[in-house]
Structure 1
Amino acid sequence: MARNIGSRYTAHQILGRGSAGTVWLGEGPEGPVAIKLLREDLASDQELVGRFVQERTALLGLDHPHVVAVRDLVVDGNDLALVMTLVRGTDLRTRLDRERRLAPEAAVAIIADVADGLAAAHKAQIVHRDVKPENILLDMEGPLGPGGAHPALLTDFGVAKLIDTPRRTKATKIIGTPDYLAPELVEGLPPRAAVDIYALATVLYELLAGFTPFGGGHPGAVLRRHVTETVVPLPGIPEELWQLLVQCLAKAPASRLRASELAVRLRDLLPLLAGIPPLEVDEPGPEESEQSPGYDEQQYTPAADEPRRRGAVPLVPGSAPDSNRDTHTSMRVPAPDELAGGPLGTARAPRAPGKPRPGSARNKAASVRKRRITLGAAAVLLCAAVAVGGWLATGGGDGDGAPQDSENSAPATP
C-alpha cells in the first residue's frame, strides 16, 4: 500500500527491514528513489532529530560515484526519512550468500571502489562506522570491472551516528556489528576514520575466505578476539595482498592505511590477481558457547535456531530480508581485566574436517587429555623401572647387573 513521505515523495513497496527502520521503493519529483523510513521511536526523539538535521548538509554534500547519494531528509510528523539514489542491483551480502567467496581479483576490485568512497567521506570529516557487506551495494546496470565485478557503492552513512547518541547510549556502550568492530571501539575509544579501514579490511578478508577473521560464536567472544587475537593467514593469495590485509587489520589505528592509500594499493595489485580462482579454505568450526562477561546479554538474546549471517538493511530490489542479528547491536565495553591475558593466538583458524581449530575449547581439552595420557604412560614406566631395580637389589642379578646363569649358581662347597 502506497504512503506519502512528506509532500514530495511516495513510498510504494517495502524493499527490506532493518534495526534502524524500513527501506521502501519510492517515487519523487525526479523519478524512482530509495526511502529509508526510520523507526518511530527515533523520529519522536526531538533531540535526536535535531542532531540529524544538523548533519543534513554534510550528508547531502557527500557526492561520489562510489557512495549512494542522500538526496533529501524528510521530517514530517512521526516520519523521519532519508531519500537516497536507487541502486538497481543487490547488496554484497546477498552475493556472498550465493557464492560463499569471490575470486581475489573481483574481491579486490569491489573493495577498491568502496575505499574510494570512504576517502571522499573521510575528506569531508564523515566516518561511516558501520562498513559491512550489507551496506555495500552492487550496481548491476554499471560497467563490469576487473574480474567481472560490478561497480560497488557504500550506503547508510550517518545511520550509526544517528542511533549512537548520548541519550541512547552511555559511555560504557558501543554501537556496531560485532564482526566488523575495530579494537579501539571495543575498548571504548571514539570512532575515527581508521575504524572504517579496519572494517573494510575485514570485509575483504570475508570475501576471500568466506568468513570474517574474528567472527563466530557469542558476540562477547567476538569483541574479545578483535582486541586479543591475531588474524590467521589465508593460503593461496599473493604475499603483497596478505601484507596489505595485515596492515589494515592492525590493532593500532595509526598503523593502518588511509582510505585513499588503500584504494591505490589495491588497484596496483589487480594485474597480479588476474585468473586466480576463489580460495579453497576450510570453514572454522563452531565456537564455544560460553557466555562472555564483556557483552550485555539484556541487549541481545539470540534465538536457539538463529542463523549465523549478519543483519542486513537492503536498499535495492531483490535483496534478502533482515535477519535476527541486528545491524546496530548495543554492547557493553569490556573492562580492561576482561581483555587482559595477552594474545590468544590466531582467531578462527581454518581446520581440517573433524579436527578442532587451534585455541578453541575442544583443542584445549584435547591438549589436556594428551598431557594426561603422556603423564600416565611416564608413571607406568617409572613404576616398572622401580620394580626391576628392586628385583635386582634383592639378589635377582649379579653385581654388574647381568642375569645369572642358573647352572652356575650352585652353593659353594664348605
Structure 2
Amino acid sequence: MPTDRQPHEVARPARQGTSGGLADPVTGRVLDGRYRIGPRIARGGMASVYEATDLRLDRVVAVKVMHVGLGDDEEFAARFVREARAAARLSHPNVVAVFDQGDDQGTVFLAMELVPGHTLRDVIAKEAPMSPSRALALVEPVVSALAAAHRSGIVHRDVKPENVLIADDGRVKVADFGLAKAVGTDTQHTATGGVLIGTVSYLAPELVSEGISDARADVYAVGVLLYELLTGAKPHEGESPIQVAYKHVHEDVAPPSRLVPSLPGYVDALVARATSRDRGLRPADAGVLLHHVHRVAHALAEGVREDPELTQDLAPLLLHPDTGEIVVEEPGPARPPGPGVDPGATGDHEPTSMLRTVSAPDSPVRAAALPGLPGLPDPRGPQPDAPASAVSPARPAGPARRRRWRGPVAVLLAVLLATTLGIGAWWYGWARYSTVPSVLEQGRASAVAELEDAGFEVVLGEAVYSNRVPEGRVVTAEPGAGSRALEGDEVTIVLSLGIEQYPVPELAGRTLEEARSALAEVELEVGRVKERFSETVPDDQVVRSTPGPGKELRPGAAVDLVVSKGRKPVNVGDWVGEPADEAQRTLERKGLVVQRNEDVFSDDVAAGDVVAQEPTGGTLFKGDTVTLTVSKGPELVEVPGVRAQGVDAARAQLESLGFVVQVENISDYLGLGYVFRTDPGAGELVPKGSTITLFLV
C-alpha cells in the first residue's frame, strides 16, 4: 500500500549521491551566514535534509531545507515555522531538538539535532514480528515523548515508524513535528473532501470521518505502531489510501494474537484499548497510555503468562459474564428464521450477530454461538414443519391419532425449551447488565449523580493532571462509557487536577546536586548553569534561580541557576619601594584592610615609600588585612662641633657617631694639625654614615 514518506530528517544513514550526477544546488552553501551545508542525507515530498556544520558553535547539525518554490507557499512556510516552534517548546530526551529556524533569501530551513542511526521502519523490516518486551521497549520512549508534548498542549498528528529515530547508542527520539498543532485548534481532515494530512496507515478514525484531532489521535497511531511491531504487518491494508482510511473508520484492529498466538491476553487488550474506534474508550492522552504500557511491561518482566485482572482493566470491550474473556460482536450469517422463531425478532434475512470470546493464547481462538440468542441456528438442526391439518377431537383415540399429536407436541416443547434457554441466556448474558453512561468532562457532582441514577457505585480514583480537561471534571471512567456492567458494580472516575504545573522550590543556599534533586521532585529540570563569585554564598551553592521560587511551571520546564564559585580572590601585588599612600588607596579600593606599621629608618628606601609588606604578594579575599611598613628615610645625626680640636680627636668623635671622616688642608695651611672648620658644619643634621670633611690649619 502506498505510504506518505517524510525525510528521516535527523537520522544519518549512508550518504547518498545526487540524482543523475547533477550537483545539489544547496550543498556547499552557507545559510544565514552560519550553517555550511554538506551532503544530503534524506529527501521527502516537501523538504530535504542535509548534514551541516554550525560555524558559530562548531558542531555538526541536521538542516532541513524546504524545496525550491515551496517557500513561496504560505501554507508550507507556516508548517515549517510551526514545526520549529512546536519542537522548540519541548525539552525532552526522546524529542529531537530544534536549534534554529530561518529564511536565507527564500531558502526556508530548520536546524536541528543530528542523530546518527536509523529509523524504526528499519527495525520493523529487520526484526518484526518481535517479542512483546522488545516492542514495548521501543514504544515506551515514543509514548514518553508524546506525553511531554501532550502536557505542553501539542499533538504530533504524524506518528509513524519513519518519524521514530534510533540512534547508534540506542537512544529513541521522535522527530518531525511539522504537522503538530496546539490542542483544540481546527484541522481540515476528511476522507473525501478535505486534505488527509499524515500517513494514512496510522490515521485515527475521527481524523478521517470527522476532521478532528486531539491527543487520542496520537494514542491511536501508537497502538497501530505497536501492532506492527508485534506482528510485522499493518492492521489495515488496501489497494488505495481511501480504502485503508475506510477500514480505520469501519473495522476494529484485530487482536495481534491472531497472527502471533503466543501473545498474552493483556497485550491484546493494550492494543485494543489504544486503537479503539471510539476515541472515548482510548486513553485520554499519551501520559495515561504510558501508565498502561508500564503495567504491561512490568507483567512481561515478571514472566506473567496471563493476568485476567489486568486484561479486564485494559480491555475497552465487554467481558463474558462467566469466563471473563473479551467478547466482541461479529456479524453472523444471514439466514431465514428457523421453525418456531418469530421472523420479526431480527428482521427477515437481516444479518444477525454472534458473541465471540477471545480465549487465552494457550487455547485456540473460538467463536461460539450462545444458545437462545435471536437469529442463531437451532442447536437441534432443521425441524420438520407441523402438520397443516388439525385432527378433530371427536374422533376416537387410537395409535394413529397418538402419533399425529406426538409430532406437534414435541415441536412445541422444543420451542418452549429453546425459548426458555434463550431468555435465560439473554438475561444472564445481556439483560441483567446496564450500560455505563458517558460522564467524561462532567463535574464531579453531575457525574456521580448520573452514574448512581444508572445503578452503579461510584469510586473516586486518584486525581490526575490534564491539559485537556478542566480542573474538577472527569478525565477517565472505568469501565468506560458504553461498557456493560451489573447494577451495583463500581465505576471508578478520575478527576482532573487541571493543567499540570509545579512551583519552583527555594533553591538558594542548596548545592547544585541538591537543586537538581529538588527540581526533579517536581518534574522540573535544570537549565543553564552560570557560575559567579559570591562573598556571602559558599562555593557550589545556588545563589539564585530564574524563574524565582514560587513561580509555577509545566513539567519538564527548565530553571536556570546561578551557582557560587566562592569568594572572589583579590590580587595583592608587590608594593615595596612604592609610595605607601598610593598602595593604601589601591588596596582599600579592592576591599582589603590596610594596616601601617610604625615607620622605620631606611638608608635604601625614600621616606614615605613602602619598606616591607605582609603578605608579600599572592591573593587575599575582601576584608583581609595587608600590613605595610613605611620608610622614614635615612636616620639623621647632628654634626658635632670639633673646631680647634686635634685631627685625631676630631676624627675619633665623628666616627663614633657613624660618620665617614675625610681630611683636607686649608689653602693657608700652617702645619699645626688642628681643625679649622667642617663640612657639613657643626649643628647640621645629616644622614648617618655621611662623609664629614675636616679642614686643618
Question: What SS is found at the alignment partner of 2:115?
Answer: coil
Aligned identity (percent) is 36
Partner residue in 1 for 2:203: 181
- In structure 2, relative to structure 1, the CA distance for the partners of 1:216 and 1:152 (3 Å cut) is farther
Query: Does residue 1:25 correspond to 2:51, yes or no?
Result: yes
- In structure 2, relative to structure 1, the CA distance for the partners of 1:51 and 1:140 (3 Å cut) is closer
**Structure-2 separation of matches of 1:126 and 1:270:** 26
- Any idea what the Cα deviations from partners look like across 1:332-381, whole Å, max 9, x if unmatched? xxxxxxxxx99999xxxxxxxxxxxxxxxxxxxxxxxxxxxxxxxxxxxx
Deviation of 1:47 (Å) = 5.6
- In structure 2, relative to structure 1, the CA distance for the partners of 1:240 and 1:195 (3 Å cut) is same
- In structure 2, relative to structure 1, the CA distance for the partners of 1:87 and 1:55 (3 Å cut) is closer
Deviation of 1:50 (Å) = 5.0
Partner residue in 2 for 1:266: 293
Partner residue in 2 for 1:152: 172
Deviation of 1:62 (Å) = 1.1
Question: What SS is found at the alignment partner of 1:2?
Answer: coil
CA contact 1:112–1:262 (8 Å) conserved in 2: no
Q: Give the strand-richer structure, 1 or 2.
A: 2
Unaligned 5+ runs, structure 1: 142-149, 277-340, 346-414
Question: What SS is found at the alignment partner of 1:260?
Answer: helix
Question: What SS is found at the alignment partner of 1:88?
Answer: strand
Deviation of 1:230 (Å) = 1.6
Deviation of 1:187 (Å) = 0.7
Deviation of 1:251 (Å) = 0.9
Partner residue in 2 for 1:90: 118
Partner residue in 2 for 1:240: 266
CA contact 1:33–1:84 (8 Å) conserved in 2: yes
Q: Write out aligned runs for 1:271-286 (5 A).
A: 271-274=298-301
**Structure-2 separation of matches of 1:105 and 1:217:** 32
Deviation of 1:20 (Å) = 2.2
**Structure-1 separation of matches of 2:147 and 2:351:** 33
Partner residue in 2 for 1:296: none
TM-score of the aligned structures, taking structure 1 as reference length: 0.60
Which residue, 184, 200, 214 being the options, matches 2:236?
Answer: 214
Question: What SS is found at the alignment partner of 2:290?
Answer: helix
- Bigger RCO (CA 8 Å, 6+ sep): 1
Deviation of 1:266 (Å) = 1.2
Which residue, 282, 292, 295 being the options, matches 1:256?
Answer: 282
Q: What is the Cα-based RMSD across aligned positions, in Å?
A: 3.0
- In structure 2, relative to structure 1, the CA distance for the partners of 1:153 and 1:33 (3 Å cut) is same
Deviation of 1:212 (Å) = 1.1
CA contact 2:61–2:111 (8 Å) conserved in 1: yes
- In structure 2, relative to structure 1, the CA distance for the partners of 1:192 and 1:171 (3 Å cut) is farther
- In structure 2, relative to structure 1, the CA distance for the partners of 1:120 and 1:250 (3 Å cut) is same
**Structure-2 separation of matches of 1:125 and 1:84:** 21
Question: What SS is found at the alignment partner of 1:224?
Answer: helix
**Structure-2 separation of matches of 1:96 and 1:177:** 17
Deviation of 1:140 (Å) = 1.9
Which residue, 213, 225, 230 being the options, matches 1:191?
Answer: 213
Partner residue in 1 for 2:368: none
Q: Give the helix-richer structure, 1 or 2.
A: 1
User: 1:225 is aligned with what amino acid?
Assistant: K
Query: Does residue 1:133 correspond to 2:161, yes or no?
Result: yes
- Any idea what the Cα deviations from partners look like across 1:194-229, whole Å, max 9, x if unmatched? 111101110010000001111343222111110111
Partner residue in 2 for 1:36: 64
**Structure-2 separation of matches of 1:92 and 1:18:** 17
Count of paired positions = 270
CA contact 1:228–1:342 (8 Å) conserved in 2: no
- Any idea what the Cα deviations from partners look like across 1:252-310, whole Å, max 9, x if unmatched? 2222112012112212222433499xxxxxxxxxxxxxxxxxxxxxxxxxxxxxxxxxx
Question: What SS is found at the alignment partner of 2:280?
Answer: helix
Partner residue in 2 for 1:228: 250
**Structure-2 separation of matches of 1:190 and 1:263:** 23
Deviation of 1:39 (Å) = 2.1
**Structure-1 separation of matches of 2:162 and 2:353:** 30
- In structure 2, relative to structure 1, the CA distance for the partners of 1:189 and 1:342 (3 Å cut) is farther
Q: Write out aligned runs for 1:372-411 (5 A).
A: none
CA contact 1:69–1:85 (8 Å) conserved in 2: yes
- Any idea what the Cα deviations from partners look like across 1:118-168, whole Å, max 9, x if unmatched? 011111111111100000001222xxxxxxxx3311100124669x998xx
CA contact 1:48–1:165 (8 Å) conserved in 2: no
**Structure-2 separation of matches of 1:58 and 1:161:** 8
CA contact 1:109–1:267 (8 Å) conserved in 2: no
- Any idea what the Cα deviations from partners look like across 1:69-111, whole Å, max 9, x if unmatched? 1111121222111211111211100121222332211110111
- In structure 2, relative to structure 1, the CA distance for the partners of 1:45 and 1:136 (3 Å cut) is same
CA contact 1:132–1:180 (8 Å) conserved in 2: yes
Partner residue in 1 for 2:550: none
Question: What SS is found at the alignment partner of 1:231?
Answer: coil
User: 2:129 is aligned with what amino acid?
Assistant: R
- In structure 2, relative to structure 1, the CA distance for the partners of 1:76 and 1:188 (3 Å cut) is farther
User: 2:228 is aligned with what amino acid?
Assistant: E
Partner residue in 1 for 2:94: 66
**Structure-2 separation of matches of 1:86 and 1:53:** 19
User: 2:177 is aligned with what amino acid?
Assistant: F
- In structure 2, relative to structure 1, the CA distance for the partners of 1:160 and 1:42 (3 Å cut) is farther
Query: Does residue 1:49 correspond to 2:77, yes or no?
Result: yes
Q: Write out aligned runs for 1:321-332 (5 A).
A: none
- Any idea what the Cα deviations from partners look like across 1:175-198, whole Å, max 9, x if unmatched? 121111110111142221111110
Deviation of 1:42 (Å) = 2.6
TM-score of the aligned structures, taking structure 2 as reference length: 0.36
User: 1:226 is aligned with what amino acid?
Assistant: H
